[in-house]
C-alpha cells in the first residue's frame, strides 16, 4: 500500500510539472491560431482557428517580419558554423586530454582543469571581454565574431564530453591499432571516430541548440538588421504596445521547429553520447 501511495504521489508531481512546463507552449499555440481581435481576449481554445498568422510570417507580409527568411537563414548559418567548428576542435582537444593520447598526465590534468574553470564565469560576464576582443581585431558585425564567440562557450564542455567518451573506449582498440602499425591520425579518424558516432551527434546537437537559443552574443556583436538571426529580429515585436501577438507567437513556433526536429531525429544518439561520456569517464 505504501508503495502504491508513493507511486501515486510521484505520478501527481510529474503531471503537475508537465502541465506547468507545457502551459506556456500551449498558450503560444492557441494565441498563434487567433485573429488579431481575439488576441486581446482570454481563450482556452481558439473560437475560430486560423492559420493566417503563419501565412503572414511565411510570406513576410507583416512589416515586422519582412526579413523573416533572411533572419531564419542567418540562424541556420550560425548554428551550423558553430556546431561544425565546435565539433572539430572538441574532438581533437578531447582526444588530446583523454587517456588515448601520448601527452603527459600533468599536461592533461592542466588542460582538463582549464576546461572546467572556464565554466566558473557566467557567459554574460564574458560578453564584454569578448566584445572588446572582437573590436580590437575589427571583427564586429561579422559572422566570424558570432561564430568564434559562441564556439568559445561550447568547446570546453564538448571537449570534456569527448575526452570522457574516448576514455570509455576499450584498450583493445588501441592495442590492435598499434600492432597493425596505425599512426595516431589513423587511429583517431579511422578507428575511434567511426565508433563514436553517438558522441559526435551529441556534440553537434548540443552546439546547435546552444547557438540557436543564444540571444546575448548576436545582439552584442551585430548591428545590421540583415545580419541578425531570427531571435534578434523577433525583438522588434516588443517595440510597440499593440503588437499582433498572434503573428509573434506564430513566428516563435516556426522558430522552435528546427531544434525540435533535430533533437527527435538524433535523440537516441544524443542520449547515448551524453550518458556514456558522463558515466564511464
Give all strands (DSSP E) within the chain, no chain letters.
none
Rounded to whole angstroms, the Cα distance separating 41 from 265 reads 37
* pLDDT over threshold 80, residue 177: no
Mean pLDDT over residues 37-44, rounded?
84
Flag whether pLDDT at 222 surpasses 50. yes
CA distance 128 to 147: 16
41: exposed, middle or buried (Cβ count in 10 Å: 0-12, 13-18, 19+): exposed
Distances (CA, A) of 63 to 27, 53, 246: 24, 13, 14
With a cut of 80, say whether residue 3 has pLDDT above it. no
Rounded average pLDDT over 179-183? 74
Condensed to tens digits (0 to 9), the pLDDT of residues 126-145 reads 899 999 999 999 999 999 99
Q: Which residues of 147-160 are buried (b: 16+ CB within 10 A; e: fewer)?
A: bbbbbbbbbbbbbb
3-state secondary structure of 183: coil
278 compared with 77, residue with greater pLDDT: 77
Span 98-110, average pLDDT? 78
Is residue 236 packed enough to be buried (19+ CB in 10 Å), middle (13-18) or exposed (0-12)?
Answer: middle
- The residue among 127, 141, 144 whose CA lies nearest residue 225 is 141
What distance in Å separates the CA atoms of residue 136 and residue 128, rounded to the nearest whole number? Answer: 12
R_g (Cα) of the chain, nearest Å: 23
pLDDT of residue 277: 47
Q: What is the pTM of this model?
A: 0.86
Contact indicator for 211, 205 with CB cutoff of 8 Å: no
Task: Give the number of residues written for the chain.
Answer: 281
- The pLDDT value recorded for residue 2 is 54
Q: Which CATH architecture fits 68-229+261-279? A: Orthogonal Bundle (1.10)
Q: Do 119 and 157 contact (CB within 8 A), yes or no?
A: yes
- Average pLDDT of the chain is 86
**Contact between 97 and 226 (Cβ < 8 Å):** no
Amino acid at each position: 500500500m505504501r508503495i502504491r501511495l508513493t507511486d501515486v504521489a510521484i505520478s501527481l508531481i510529474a503531471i503537475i510539472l508537465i502541465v506547468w512546463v507545457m502551459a506556456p507552449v500551449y498558450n503560444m499555440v492557441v494565441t498563434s491560431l487567433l485573429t488579431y481581435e481575439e488576441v486581446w481576449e482570454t481563450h482556452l481554445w481558439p473560437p475560430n482557428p486560423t492559420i493566417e498568422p503563419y501565412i503572414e510570417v511565411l510570406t513576410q507580409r507583416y512589416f515586422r517580419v519582412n526579413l523573416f527568411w533572411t533572419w531564419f537563414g542567418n540562424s541556420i548559418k550560425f548554428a551550423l558554423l558553430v556546431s561544425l567548428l565546435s565539433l572539430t576542435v572538441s574532438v581533437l582537444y578531447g582526444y588530446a586530454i583523454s587517456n588515448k593520447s601520448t601527452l603527459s598526465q600533468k599536461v592533461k590534468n592542466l588542460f582538463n582543469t582549464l576546461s572546467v574553470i572556464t565554466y566558473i564565469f557566467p557567459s554574460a560576464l564574458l560578453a564584454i571581454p569578448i566584445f572588446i576582443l572582437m573590436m580590437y581585431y575589427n571583427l564586429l558585425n561579422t559572422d566570424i565574431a558570432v561564430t568564434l564567440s559562441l564556439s568559445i562557450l561550447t568547446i570546453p564542455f564538448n571537449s570534456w564530453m569527448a575526452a570522457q567518451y574516448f576514455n570509455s573506449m576499450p584498450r583493445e582498440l588501441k592495442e590492435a591499432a598499434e600492432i597493425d602499425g596505425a599512426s595516431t591520425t589513423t587511429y583517431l579518424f579511422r578507428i575511434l571516430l567511426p565508433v563514436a558516432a553517438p558522441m559526435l551527434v551529441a556534440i553537434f546537437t548540443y552546439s546547435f541548440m546552444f547557438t540557436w537559443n543564444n540571444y546575448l552574443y548576436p545582439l552584442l556583436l551585430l548591428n545590421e538588421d540583415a545580419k541578425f538571426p531570427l531571435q534578434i529580429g523577433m525583438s522588434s515585436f516588443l517595440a510597440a504596445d499593440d503588437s499582433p501577438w498572434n503573428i509573434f507567437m506564430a513566428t516563435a513556433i516556426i522558430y522552435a521547429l528546427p531544434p525540435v526536429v533535430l533533437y527527435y531525429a538524433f535523440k537516441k544518439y544524443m542520449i547515448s553520447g551524453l550518458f556514456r561520456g558522463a558515466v564511464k569517464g
